[in-house]
Structure 1
Amino acid sequence: MSAQPHPFDPLAALRAPGDPACDVYLAGTVFLDIIFTGLDSAPVRGTESWARGMGSSPGGVANMATALARLGLHTSLAAAFGDDMYGDYCREALDKGEGIDLALSHTVPGWHSPVTVSMAYEGERTMISHGHEAPPREPTASPTALGLGRAPIDPEAPGCPPPARACVTSLAPGDGQEWIAIAARHGSRIFADVGWDDTGRWDLGALPDLEHCEAFLPNAEEAMRYTRTDCPRAAARALSERVPLAVVTLGAQGSCAVDGRTGESAEVPGIPVDALDTTGAGDVFVAGFVMGSLAGWPLADRLAFAGLTAALSVQEFGGSLSAPGWSEIAAWWSRVRAGGPRAGAAGGAGAQQADGPCEGTYGFLDAVLTGCPGSAPRRRALPTIGFGRTTGAR
């Protein structure tokens, strides 16, 4: 696989001598994702189901890392990789294929890569995962070694976490991550989402790293449960009392946000699309929002851009390799300005025609895309990981 170039730098005008070489740092677990699409319904016990489509790609934290890198952000990832074929594939796809800096990652001899099988149907997905916690990085046997889903402070890498404009993480109840406080103390802007609370307590006080976050981006169900509200917008207002910027994702309906520092609020509707696979859409949304935040865009523009990148991603197979690059974004905007379908490579039955409100919502792209060159199509997920080069999904 040859590295994907990033000829368009959306932060070029903001870069100055002495700035961190890393735009975004993140850490976690890389999975091999195997995705089945085109299922008419959930599998039924005792029967065999055939999927009309299948794709394989790096998953887990690779979804976010790839989405960030494809938006031209200099991305550093700390993760453990197995020394099996799955691990080799994921490392090569991220390093050579996406240009992600893996200097803080490491390979674990004898450790097999975690795997997730995702089944997409009826606009949703069901996932089955298997994996074991990675053993401590030799020669260190401390709890700071990388494990499933957690981020390390590696004593062998004193620059970890490295100086970065931003860091992205996922919060978990009762599980503090020391590196987040260190990164925030050194000036990194912390963006975090959160997973489902299996304890059922839904206590914001159990998220010890929330106090270090600039932006918190839960989905609507998570936000309402954490705030004991029955409306996503009310949840966003309540969360803004705990974190500077609260963003609540509404799935296909869009997103809303409240800036607790200024009192500003914004809401942007979703873009109608025919979703092929929603795996990783939340990660792509966060990546788009981080991109807009680092560029200093207004709140509504950040929400619109994040929603656009997520809408484009769900029309491709896989989590990481479905993420759009600037060429796909520019092509979509060109179709909108020409009066064609608002989203998707071919529009799809669910796509709507461009109209005044759409052009008004995304008009900021005119300035953003100035000087954005066309580029070769991005790599997409294929049924097998056995091919050295990929040309598209099947």
Structure 2
Amino acid sequence: MTGGRSHLDPLAALRAPGDPACDVYLTGTVFLDIVFTGLDAAPVRGTESWARGMGSSPGGVANMATALARLGLRTSLAAAFGDDMYGDYCRDALEQGEGIDLSMSHTVPGWHSPVTVSMAYEGERTMISHGHEAPPKDEVLEGGRECPPPARACVASLVPGEAQEWIATAARRGSRIFADIGWDETGGWDLSALPDLAHCDAFLPNAVEAMSYTRTDCPRAAAHRLAEQVPLAVVTMGAEGAYAVDGGTGESAQVPAIAVEALDTTGAGDVFVAGFVMATLAGWPLADRLACAGLTAALSVQEFGGSLSAPGWAEVAAWYQHVRSYDVQDPAALRRYGFLDALLPRCARAWPLRRAVPTIGFRA
């Protein structure tokens, strides 16, 4: 099960008649990602560099959607797709390859797909993107369906100084809102400039973002400050792991990161959020949610690309079997990730797993 649809449903025990058909809804821009790998160094101006590997995949918001779907969540994505070959490729990869519901998405005639070229070397990445903003879609789709649809949860990216109406609508309909934030280009770092924060159940910034918004000099202090604004604050701290504070109960938890050799960090933040959303919807304890999110993110950075690297349950099971093996048994990992015993099927696949690298142009 490398990529594609998950055969493990983490919410199976919780599903009941009358539940929304969608577990998670999200919206955003889908890019075609072209990733060059095997570069010995950064390209030098005026020279030609040859890469030893290349892969293509849907990127942008597709990174998050793919990560959610590979963890077994029924995922609905609203996005614009161009009517070019790139758009067809991305739509097919998400809908047919990953089982993501695209009924809320739309095709824009004459609009070309946004493209990002990423070059990975020495554990770093350099990206060049091009695209134009897509025209908005109607809020009411064919057949009278409304967007956003009923969903257990929604994943949103907050924008400083901008209220996104769909977030308030989704929260009003009972969806739990999980939000992250990008770099504040205005330099204001003002929590009051994030109006949609009031609708969020969980806020998941990185350490720099959290400290900037709270005017603190410690990620843990920042998490406690943010927990005064949202029910749950989660701050990612890179190699130090992640720290979370439940604003309602006062509970806090910290889980260290798994030490891995990072090949490409593209999409790792999306994978972390996806793992945390899945574990939260499944009702896991706070520390286990952090551990699950950190594990999935650690597995993703060992592969190249964004959605290409998002792990499924086969990857998680293979890793857990590896740390339980006689030769490399890790007692600390066994204690921290013991919650996987009741969830994962036996997995006989070899470790480490290697992914196929897809490309555009082959025809069946």
Fold-level similarity (TM above 0.5) = yes
Alpha-carbon distance between aligned partners in 2 of 1:285 and 1:114, rounded to the nearest angstrom: 24
Q: Matched residues, percent identical?
A: 77
Alpha-carbon distance between aligned partners in 2 of 1:177 and 1:388, rounded to the nearest angstrom: 40
1:228 matched residue in structure 2: 215
Structure 1 residue 70, shift from structure 2 partner: 0.4
Q: Is the 8 A contact 1:258 1:264 kept in 2?
A: yes
Q: Is the 8 A contact 1:175 1:207 kept in 2?
A: yes
Q: Is the 8 A contact 1:42 1:121 kept in 2?
A: yes
Alpha-carbon distance between aligned partners in 1 of 2:31 and 2:242, rounded to the nearest angstrom: 28
* Unaligned ranges ≥5, structure 1: 141-152, 341-352, 390-394
2:357 matched residue in structure 1: 381
State how 1:105-184 maps to structure 2 within 5 Å.
105-137=105-137, 153-154=139-140, 158-184=145-171
Structure 1 residue 159, shift from structure 2 partner: 2.3
Q: Is the 8 A contact 1:8 1:373 kept in 2?
A: no
Q: Is the 8 A contact 2:5 2:69 kept in 1?
A: no
Alpha-carbon distance between aligned partners in 1 of 2:115 and 2:39, rounded to the nearest angstrom: 20
1:315 matched residue in structure 2: 302
Alpha-carbon distance between aligned partners in 2 of 1:59 and 1:381, rounded to the nearest angstrom: 14
Deviations 1:54-84 (A, max 9, x none): 2111000000000000011000000000001
Alpha-carbon distance between aligned partners in 2 of 1:104 and 1:68, rounded to the nearest angstrom: 17
Structure 1 residue 286, shift from structure 2 partner: 0.4
Q: Is the 8 A contact 2:5 2:70 kept in 1?
A: no
1:89 matched residue in structure 2: 89
1:209 matched residue in structure 2: 196
Residue in structure 2 matching 1:358, options 325, 333, 343: 333
Between Structure 1 and Structure 2, how many residues are aligned? 359
**Which one has the bigger helix percentage?**
2
Structure 1 residue 136, shift from structure 2 partner: 3.7
1:242 matched residue in structure 2: 229
SS at match of 1:257: strand
Structure 1 residue 357, shift from structure 2 partner: 1.4
Amino acid at match of 1:368: L
SS at match of 1:321: helix
1:306 matched residue in structure 2: 293
Q: Is the 8 A contact 1:25 1:76 kept in 2?
A: yes
SS at match of 1:57: strand
With over 3 angstroms needed to count, the CA separation of the structure-2 counterparts of 1:354 and 1:43, relative to structure 1, is farther
Structure 1 residue 274, shift from structure 2 partner: 1.4
Deviations 1:154-200 (A, max 9, x none): 46554211110000010110121101111111110000110111001
Residue in structure 1 matching 2:245, options 258, 270, 283: 258
Alpha-carbon distance between aligned partners in 1 of 2:133 and 2:346, rounded to the nearest angstrom: 42
2:279 matched residue in structure 1: 292
Q: Is the 8 A contact 1:32 1:57 kept in 2?
A: yes
Segment drifting more, 293-302 vs 251-260: 251-260
Alpha-carbon distance between aligned partners in 1 of 2:329 and 2:42, rounded to the nearest angstrom: 34
TM-score, scaled to structure 2: 0.93
Alignment RMSD: 2.1
Alpha-carbon distance between aligned partners in 2 of 1:120 and 1:205, rounded to the nearest angstrom: 37
Segment drifting more, 51-60 vs 214-223: 51-60
TM-score, scaled to structure 1: 0.86
* Unaligned ranges ≥5, structure 2: none
SS at match of 2:94: helix
